[in-house]
Amino acid sequence: MEWGLTIEEAVRFHGHLGPWLVIGYRAGAIARDRLGPKDFHDLHCTVRVPNKVPYSCSIDGVQASASCTLGKGNITVEDSDDFEFLFVNIATKESLRLRLRRDLLAKLSSFRSIEEASKYVVGLGDWEIFELS
């Protein structure tokens, strides 16, 4: 069974393309690639971001790409200024912590529109968005 949504499907789920949706989506995609879950129940994610829009949009991105969902109970959301995503492969006990690069956080506030910010984030490489911690 194939699981996880494409970015286009994630946009339809969320309602629009935004930089924080892309950030969460990319975090989930990295986790799936690096932790190699065999089943959509294998991953658990703890999202640590401020519990307010637009930052909380990253939660939808994780749900879309990693299939860590509120309904299945394999995602936890913590109100925090840490801007990080902690993934655990429940089957193997391997973990991955992705922290948003602070220079990107500052850069995102400089854009005049959500479209500009989204285009910028889409064009970045994974390690221009995150650092391992």
Query: Any idea which of 3-7, 47-51, 57-61 has the lowest mean pLDDT?
Result: 3-7
Could you read off the pLDDT of 6-44 as tens digits, one per residue? Answer: 999 999 999 999 999 999 999 999 999 999 999 989 999
Give the HSE-up count for residue 129: Cα atoms under 13 Å, Cβ half-sphere: 26
The position carrying tokens 């991105």 is: 61
Domains observed in the chain: 7-124 (3.30.1330.130)
Element (H, E) at 89: strand 84-89
